Structure 1
Amino acid sequence: MNKEDYYLRLLLNIQKGCTSFSDLRTVDGIVYDSFKDACYALGLLQDDREFIDAISEVETWHSATFLRRFFVVLLTSNNMSRPDFVWQKTWNFLSDDVLYEQRRLLQMEDLIMSEVLIKDIALAKIEDLLQSNGRSLKEYCGMPYPSENLVSSLEDRIIMEELNFDVNALANELGGYLERITNEQKFAYDQIIGAVSGNMGGLFFLYGQGGCGKTFLWSTISCSIRSKGGIVLNVASSGIAALLLPNGRTAHSRFKISLAINEDSLCSIKQGSPLARLISKAKLIIWDETPMISKYCYEALDKCLRDILRCSDSYNAYLPFGGKVVVLGGDFR
């Protein structure tokens, strides 16, 4: 369906005495560029005014950094019908600290920056926040995008977050974990680390009731792989369980799993995106509290990983989870 046709029909029911398309797009003497804009001017559509007012109000007591995070929350929750319109009306609040920050970084108190450059830097900061959540400004129709030279340094931000560990400190921490590990935990640890080291792939399930040491084992395995510069993706089915994991996230957040899940659902991960590259580089995926959610979530991830990893090796398309080592854990009771 052509959306402009829909807006045209709205105007035909409201505007009177029009003899041309330009007359239909004219509101209070202003000729708008599209039928959609004319509908907004007439108040026929939600104009996101409440979001503009909210940002303007919060600006009086919060920093621009907080406002950018607030704007990203509005973007990722898809609350705004016209995010570009909200940006145009509030960009000066969202970029209020850019000039000060650049003066401090460059040690030039008299630095002058153009409005275009200030907007560009603010958009780059917003893009940085979005990419840390696996999203991008390119996904939002009409939103401007910062220049490529500002974005190029952000592309692998999501990967750097999973590599930002002190490997020496982790090696020392691993020694403490291994001194306290039980025989049963050591058996599981050896099996999983062996599969990762041998690049063999594999699907493991660790079953145990609450308090038996599953989280301790996740920390030990993560510490072992990260101390060698590898990437481990720790996820859980619930937010509370995710907080107990080192660098943990909910599975829905990390793998972009739909909340309305069914047998045909797929993870919203685009081939070649920063998140897809992160998954490709990961040595291991640990998923805790797995019995809590639908089997379709795992099937969606399985299809997604096969699709992402088949580019590096077509044989991966036939392996469970694309040949990635995946460890599931939980208590069916």
Structure 2
Amino acid sequence: MLNYVPPGTGDIYYMRILLAVQRGCTTYESIRTVNGITYSSFQDACYSMGLLCDDREFIVAINEVAELASGHQLRKLFAMLPISNSISNPERVWNATWTLLADGILYERRKALKNQGLNMTDDELKNLCLIEIEKILNSNTRSLRDYQSMPYPEMSHVRLFQNKLIEEELAYDTNDLTHTNLYTEQKMTHEQRLVFDEILNAVITDSGGFYFVYGHGGCGKTFIWNGLSSAIRSRGKIVLNVASSGIASLLLPGGRTAHSRFSIPITITDESTCNIKHGSLKAELLIQNLK
């Protein structure tokens, strides 16, 4: 006699189903073996024997509801399916409907960052969508980790979208910056344009380099820096403008003093280091700035 096992227990539940129909099993592998094929999980073995539904009705339901419901409402609907043990394979439904479940996420990010030109890859959208689903599950004392087949969001990637320092540096209006950049380039002298193109090309091609621009006061050094800032930020990249003094930093868009930005100690010794802790918000900002 086999004891009752609730559907929410995962692999034990699927093993319980197989034990009711499989005969002569002596090992776990033999329980998962169907017609000479040993499956990687009890759930897959159940599917191969037609013992489980394919969850097609849930995929159809989400597609139908998507015509009227918002992405947030769809994500709540999806989260309720595994919570109520109504779904056999959450990953299969996720793979078929994730584009609908992620509806509105890109818009919200553009709105939060004030960057209408922001784009995300499918992997980034999936990750953010899984984060939202995880929040809903957590509010019901559940987690995506409770369902072995479901992917779990990359938490290191999550922090980048919760880092206020990174959001602040990406919150520039790329459309306005593009117009500003075009105007700035038109006003540049031939010599300024040579410097501008050389540095901008190093950034775009990721070739790197160290550049020292010097000249007497009023020759347009700050004009070049401001032009480079708008040109690079208009491409959705992070620019960290620093200066040696507070007055000089005010001349740069989003400028900071070097001591403030890089946590340089006031009193310098041979053993001094910048006070930036590993994994901190500022450390993540600097890492993103290098990408």
Which category of TM-score, normalised to the shorter sequence, fits these structures?
Answer: 0.3 to 0.5
- Flag the structure with larger Rg: 2
TM-score (norm 2): 0.44
- Considering Cα pairs closer than 8 Å and 6+ residues apart, tell me whether 1 or 2 has the greater RCO: 1
TM-score (norm 1): 0.39
